[in-house]
Structure 1
Amino acid sequence: MSFRRRVDMICGDLPGAEKSDPWGGGHDAWKVGGKMFACIGSSAPGISVKTPDIETATMLIEAGVGNKAPYFHRSWINLPEKTEDGELRHRLCTSYDIVRASLTKKAQAALPAREEA
């Protein structure tokens, strides 16, 4: 199964998650409440996801889980395509939860409930 398909399956199951190509050219940006939580570039490998903070991103990069995410804040990391399914799911869901929690209470209330896996 392709990497993009794996990402689509995980993100597609998250309540209120929507995929778009905001810049054109084959980017896949996954958003919740209009805010991005994951992005696959058109040519660079991997997927960029948000972490709780810069320290967590730095730790994950040092541990070899991901790399610095180009064009994103330092609290984001880029996961390689070889990332195992469990880790990929965990990082995508964590990024989704961080972004969802940052939405206004009204926007959060408008989203379907999130069932923990």
Structure 2
Amino acid sequence: MSRELVNEICAAQPGAEWSDPWGGGHDCWKVGGKIFAMVGTVGTHLSVKTDSIEMATLLIETGVAERARYLHRSWVALPLDAAPDEIAHRIRHSYRLVRAGLTRKAQAALPPL
């Protein structure tokens, strides 16, 4: 999957916003000001949130993902050449997790799912 396709999937999530908070060419996707997906400047991996450290460990141990550098242990880095349906699923899941963690007020300000 290409970086452009990842960006299309992320942009399709209700209320998603793109930024490059550190400069240098990051694709950082946020909902309600919180990151749900990110591709670094090198652009070989997509970092997404999982629902737990245990799930992240399982994905890493089964070879689906790697540990996402610089992020909490519940985040994983999927290679961009992974199966497109797996990447799309992980982006949508990460988005829903992050959105659900927002305050009620922040959630109410977003477009409906």
Provide TM-score, normalisation by structure 2. Answer: 0.96
- In the alignment, what sits opposite 1:101? 100
Structure 1 stretches of 5 or more lacking a match? none
Alignment deviations for residues 64-89 of structure 1 (CA, whole Å, 9 cap, x no partner): 11000011110000000111111111
> Contact between 2:47 and 2:76, CA under 8 Å: does it hold in 1?
yes
Question: SS state of the match for residue 24, structure 1?
Answer: coil
1:63 partner letter? T
* Counterparts of residues 1-117 of structure 1 (less than 5 Å): 3-43=2-42, 45-114=44-113
Question: SS state of the match for residue 77, structure 2?
Answer: strand
Root-mean-square deviation over aligned CA pairs: 1.0
Alignment deviations for residues 22-58 of structure 1 (CA, whole Å, 9 cap, x no partner): 0000011000000001111112521100000100000
Question: SS state of the match for residue 25, structure 2?
Answer: coil
Provide TM-score, normalisation by structure 1. Answer: 0.93
**Matched residue pairs, number?**
113
Structure 2 stretches of 5 or more lacking a match? none
Task: Quote the Cα distance in structure 2 between the aligned partners of 1:25 and 1:34.
Answer: 20
